[in-house]
Amino acid sequence: MKLQQLLSYTRKAVEDYHMIEEGDKIAIGISGGKDSLTLLYALSGLRRFYPKHFELCAISVNLGYPIDYSAIRQLCDSLEVPFYVVETEIAQIIFEERKEKSPCSLCAKMRKGALNEKAKELGCNKIAYAHHKDDVIETMLMSLIYEGRFYTFAPVTDWDRTGLTLIRPLIYVEERNIVGFKNKYNLPIFKNPCEADGVTTREYASELLDKINEAAPGVRERLFHAITDSKPLDKWKRDEATD
């Protein structure tokens, strides 16, 4: 996928769900993986021509592992996006002190808290997550399997307690296209050092969808349509003018 196509998908999502307004300051959550670095490219590129002016910064929450961020910092400098690292002891708390058997939920909450705190300190009013189209579908499938309800996260979420708004500008971008973008633009990704990486329920959902797709090709696109056309998921409704 070329940058022009990425920007087209991103702008459509932003406009369909009114993600960006004049004067916004948006913090991009940077994990170091392909998704968040693709989002960095997308929003920094969109900023150059989007009619509503907005600012960006990039924030990484270090769980407590020795990570070299120099390549990401260099990329942020080239894109003129300020980059910040929040140092934490989340890994030690979860794996050594609490010895969590299912650490992902608690880890996500702690990372979210650290990211939000830094974003507010920097004067941001919005945070951008790099969830893509496949994440939307997989979250819905996990909700059906483990919770017995039809649910997935919304394109835009207002956090009243924090005063921040969460946006997900990559919801129209498929993971395979992000992989292609990563390879084409040689993104400086690094492997997630977390010891729970690769053994999550999300990995199971992704593998299950791959198996279903073998018998029913195109299932991911149909499931995504079911989400965007669903009455219960009212936050996925778009204005008629944007259809």
Task: Determine the Cα–Cα distance for residues 126 and 70; give it in Å rounded to an integer.
Answer: 25
The CATH number for 55's domain is: 3.40.50.620
Interacting residues of 149 by C-beta distance below 8 A, sequence separation 6+:
143
Q: What is the DSSP letter of 29?
A: E
What is the pLDDT, as a whole number, of residue 157?
A: 95
- Predicted confidence band of residue 243 (pLDDT cuts 50, 70, 90): very low
For residues 168 and 196, which has the higher predicted lDDT (pLDDT)? 168
Interacting residues of 57 by C-beta distance below 8 A, sequence separation 6+:
25, 26, 27, 28, 81, 82, 83, 84, 119, 122, 124
Average pLDDT on 108-124 reads: 95
- Predicted confidence band of residue 241 (pLDDT cuts 50, 70, 90): very low
Domain count, the chain: 1
- Predicted confidence band of residue 195 (pLDDT cuts 50, 70, 90): low
Q: Name the least confident of 71-80, 103-112, 175-184, 221-230.
A: 103-112
pLDDT at 142 over 80: yes
pLDDT at 99 over 80: no
pLDDT at 242 over 60: no
Domain extent for 120: 3-242
pLDDT at 27 over 80: yes
What is the pLDDT, as a whole number, of residue 218?
A: 94
Task: Determine the Cα–Cα distance for residues 50 and 42; give it in Å rounded to an integer.
Answer: 12
What is the pLDDT, as a whole number, of residue 239?
A: 60
